[in-house]
Amino acid sequence: MLDVFAANHLNGLRQAAEAEKLFLSALSADPRLTGAWFDLGKLYYMSFRTPEAWACWDAGRSVRPNHRFAGDIRERERRMVAEHPEFFQE
């Protein structure tokens, strides 16, 4: 758990590579750390690594679908579909 706190601190200091290592270390030790999945996803998203971001968010949602951060991701998805329906038509 301390790795997650340190990772968020480093991410705030714009030390993304070091933060990523700590997030991955924490998740390797306990993949049920839902908040860490969402935080790592945010780090990736802000680094324009969207496939990795969505993979993290999906992992977090699979662990705990009702986590408060899951609602944020569902809202982001809803906005994307509303604003860019051409990319989501079947």
Q: What is the domain partition of the chain in residue ranges?
A: 2-87
Q: How far apart are CA 54 and CA 56, in angstroms?
A: 5
**Mean pLDDT throughout 20-27?**
98
At position 83, the amino acid (one-letter code) is: E
pLDDT in tens, 28-54: 999 999 999 999 999 999 999 999 999
- Does the global pTM surpass 0.85? yes
Please report the pLDDT score of residue 74 as a whole number: 92
Query: What is the average pLDDT across 13-19?
Result: 96
- Which CATH code for domain 2-87? 1.25.40.10
The pLDDT value given to residue 15? 97
